[in-house]
A and B are shown apart, each in its own frame.
Chain A
Amino acid sequence: MSDSNEKLHGIVAYFTDIDGLMAAARKVRDAGYKRWDSYTPFPVHGIDEAMGIKPTILPWIVLVMGLTGLSLGILLQWYTNAFDYVFLISGKPDWSLPANIPVAFEMVIAFSAFTTFLGMLALNKLPHLSNPLHKLESFRRITDDRFAIVVEAADKNFDAGRVRALLGAASAEQVEDCPVDTSRAALPLWFHGLAAIATCLTFIPLAVAFKGRFATSEKPRYHVWPDMDWQRKRKTQTEWEMFPDGRAMRLPVEGTIAQGELRDDFELYFGVDQDSFVPDRVSYDAGAMGPSAEGRPAWLTGFPTAMVVDEALLERGQQRYDIYCSVCHGQQGNGLGSVALRAKALDAQKWGWVDPKSLLADNAKSYSNGEIFHIVSQGVSTMKGYGAQIVPRDRWAIVAYVRALQMTQGINRRELNRLGVDPADLKPVPTIDDVRVSSADAGR
């Protein structure tokens, strides 16, 4: 084994017990060697000191990575749930720190633990499969019941003779030379082949994913779970020959009324007297007030008995009016809504635009409450109906508010008092015709 022609990796001394090892380790340490090590089947208590090993920096690396894990854990949860994709769940704030603690904690542990393991491997320069010491027959007992000290030839002070003498004097069981390993890596050729093939195979899923991402296909996608994709049921708006009318959807039984849809209070729901007929969308011919007198429904002049007209209703009406009506009719009711102004700026009349009516005009004032309710509900002329968006009670609130606007000319007296303005000083309410809008404003 110890052929003097071979290049030397180091000199190995074997020991049978701890005491011999410790004594020898102290000797080698005191002799000033640096590139040497002892090898034991288990961690020997006190050897660090006998060898002069400095404490590892591993804990500090772990601390830093643990704090990194903490920050990343918090950041991840903040970014995903409080910033990028905000949604309300179980009434919790978007950014709920108590609920984020568990995941942040797990991230700390995960980062620290993997750093510990990988850091230990990195500092120990593992994996390191090819080691000349593994070629020695006796060295195999190191992982069983023997202890060894190896002084490497790479040490500056290395002198084979002196080292042999030093170790021999230290009650070593056996001292031998360890040659540098010049043989090929221990793994056989077929293993390399297999590893290469396996590595190539791992790229296939990646390649498939890339192809799927960047290529288009005419063929329908492959159905993995056909019974989920094609369920044994009919979807809405489809045919089904089983029924005589050939429709998959069924109509409700004759006379069915959905919950909340029973509109038996004509005053409340249609703005007419209880015994009147219910009109469809009324069209007002130019100049004439709708259909002939006998064909007109008995419009309600007051408010339905089901409604209580009070300040709360007016406030509700104002709020609904500002949301739904003011964009065209203006907050004052004079037809100066932002839509109207913009239409004017665009000169939209050439496309058939009709200016919204001023609710303060005399003919608007002359409508009965029922008629206004009807117009809010069903619309008139180019105005669409709002019955689908606004519930009947809110429509009545709007009616009440429109009446209030008409009486005050859209002036809020409370505001005036606050500003200290005398109502008499006010100019007349402008109409759409009084306003001049430059087409430059159209872009805004």
Chain B
Amino acid sequence: MIARDLSKPAATGLRVGVIGIAATAGLGYGAGDHLSHFGHSMLVATMFFLSICLGALFFTLLQHVTSAGWSVVVRRVAESMTGALMFLFPIVLLLIGVPALMKNGFLYDWMATDAEWVQNNTFIQAKTGYLNGPFLFVRILIYFAIWIGVARFFAGQSRAQDDDQDPGRTLKMQRAAGICIILFGLATTFAAFDFLMSLNAEWFSTMYGVYFFAGAFWSSLATLALSTMWLEKRGQLQGVVTSEHYHDIGKLMFAFTFFWSYVAFSQFMLYWYADIPEETHWFNYRIWGDWTGFSMLLLVGHFAIPMLGLLSRHVKRNRKVLAFWCFYVLTFHFVDLYWNVMPELANGLPGENPAQAGVPFSAMDLTAMIGVAGIFVFGFLKTLDGKPALAIGDPRLPESMAFQNI
């Protein structure tokens, strides 16, 4: 059951990561737009993998807080995924924290605090107490301290249990999970506000944290299922993880397809209906203009198709079919983040109308994804390497292995 020989794929991941990010930087430098597109592409990619890590962290916490039995066999995979947080931290710091200190608005318009239009903007000036470089930098440190701290605690306890098989550790984690989930919720909400919502510093939505979380958990479930299948193929979880477990992951994925749609629709509908200019402009240039097609793609692809596709139990119990849907889910999580981030590329630039700037596809979008994916895979596999691929010391392991859906 020990996950061996992962150092090679991990090293490949690291190499791909470094090359990918370097290539993105090169392309970005060549684009001559003061790294603006580079920044946005990197943000999409970083948020994509950060959200997967956070979803996995939430998955771990959720299983503990509800004393779940079914999920023990896949929990170790989720725990290991959170190991990648360590390696995403410097990227976030360089991409968001440092420019904030340097007052460079290449990614977040509000960071250019010396620019005239920022100083004349009452909406941005009203929130300088929150949106300012030093405070944001500190906040990033706090977020990652919470995430990494919680992740390491649970992964550490779980691994210690492999050795001593002490059921007391399960209770310890169960007790800690409650308070940790509160910390996680707050950190993730405000991170969503800071990293994504403040791209357009004039806009605001109370739902945004929930919206980000819904997509994060959705995509992390897909990654969890895919990683488990991959490990099974390598012979590490074979005979332990059954279609029953995939069925359950699939059910959660289906539920979160619905939940994301519910949150996204509520957010859109309330702003559409009330039609207040300072709120609707964010949707306005996404939905009416050159982004119309992309928005329809998001609506159909993120909601309608997976809703129908994941409905049947046969889909959820068949590994191959489920794998397709997992890739699909990841694709549309990317589409979702792209839709959130990219229209802001043109927004705020003088003389640019984001509704008419078009969808700015570029090779950078792809290389950034490949690069950060490499870092993520490296962090994930390095954490898992040489350790049991499932929580062999967990007292609920037998329950999980014998688990059957009714």
Residues of A within 8 A of B (CB): 45, 63, 91-92, 98-99, 101
Contacts and interface: CB of A to CB of B under 8 A. Distances in A.
B203 interface: no
Contact of A101 (B265, B275, B406): B265
A260 to B, nearest CB: 32
A4 B273 CA distance: 76
B406 A45 contact: yes
A98 B273 contact: yes
Interface residues of B, number: 8
Nearest to B270: A98
Interface string B255-291: 0000000000100110011010000000000000000
Top 7 A-B pairs, shortest CB-CB distance = A98-B269, A98-B272, A101-B265, A99-B273, A45-B406, A91-B275, A98-B268
A101 B273 CA distance: 12
Nearest to B262: A105
13 contacts: A45-B406, A63-B311, A91-B275, A92-B273, A98-B265, A98-B268, A98-B269, A98-B272, A98-B273, A99-B269, A99-B273, A101-B265, A101-B269
Contacts of B406: 45
Given A45-B406, A98-B273, A101-B269, 10 more contacts: A63-B311, A91-B275, A92-B273, A98-B265, A98-B268, A98-B269, A98-B272, A99-B269, A99-B273, A101-B265
Nearest to A91: B275
A92 to B, nearest CB: 8
A45 B272 CA distance: 49
Contacts of A63: 311
Contacts of B275: 91
A101 B266 CA distance: 11
Nearest to A46: B404
A141 B268 CA distance: 56
A62 B131 CA distance: 51
Contacts of B311: 63
Interface of B: 265, 268-269, 272-273, 275, 311, 406
Kindly name the residue among A45, A63, A92, A98 whose own CB sees the greatest number of chain B CB atoms within 10 A: A98
Contacts of A91: 275
Nearest to B272: A98
Contacts of B269: 98-99, 101
A92 B406 CA distance: 47
A92 B269 CA distance: 12
A242 B275 CA distance: 53
B255 to A, nearest CB: 16
Contacts of A92: 273
Nearest to B313: A59
Nearest to A102: B269
Contacts of A99: 269, 273
A99 B271 CA distance: 12
Contacts of A98: 265, 268-269, 272-273
B159 to A, nearest CB: 35
A314 B392 CA distance: 91
A422 to B, nearest CB: 46
A98 B268 CA distance: 9
A438 B148 CA distance: 95
Contacts of A45: 406
B257 to A, nearest CB: 15
A70 to B, nearest CB: 11
A98 B272 CA distance: 8
A92 B273 CA distance: 8
B78 to A, nearest CB: 29
A91 B406 CA distance: 50
A399 to B, nearest CB: 42
A63 B269 CA distance: 26
B301 to A, nearest CB: 18
B399 to A, nearest CB: 16
A124 B380 CA distance: 52
A91 B265 CA distance: 20
B404 to A, nearest CB: 8
Nearest to B308: A63
Nearest to A63: B311
Contacts of B268: 98
A255 B148 CA distance: 83
A99 B265 CA distance: 11
A442 to B, nearest CB: 51
Contacts of B272: 98
A91 B276 CA distance: 12
A401 to B, nearest CB: 39
Nearest to B269: A98
B350 to A, nearest CB: 31
A45 B406 CA distance: 8
A99 B275 CA distance: 13
A259 B303 CA distance: 57
A71 B273 CA distance: 23
Nearest to B265: A101
B203 to A, nearest CB: 19
A98 B311 CA distance: 24
A95 B406 CA distance: 44
A98 B274 CA distance: 12
B73 to A, nearest CB: 21
A233 to B, nearest CB: 39
B241 to A, nearest CB: 22
A99 B272 CA distance: 9
A88 B269 CA distance: 19
A63 B265 CA distance: 23
B102 to A, nearest CB: 41
Nearest to A55: B313
A404 to B, nearest CB: 42
Contacts of B273: 92, 98-99
Contacts of A101: 265, 269
Contacts of B265: 98, 101
A74 to B, nearest CB: 14
A98 B269 CA distance: 6
Nearest to B312: A59
A45 B340 CA distance: 47
A91 B275 CA distance: 10
A98 B406 CA distance: 37
A71 to B, nearest CB: 15
A212 to B, nearest CB: 41
B207 to A, nearest CB: 15
A98 B283 CA distance: 13
A171 B268 CA distance: 64
A362 to B, nearest CB: 58
A1 B265 CA distance: 65
A424 B265 CA distance: 67
B297 to A, nearest CB: 17
A7 B275 CA distance: 75
A205 B10 CA distance: 79
A103 to B, nearest CB: 13
A101 B406 CA distance: 33
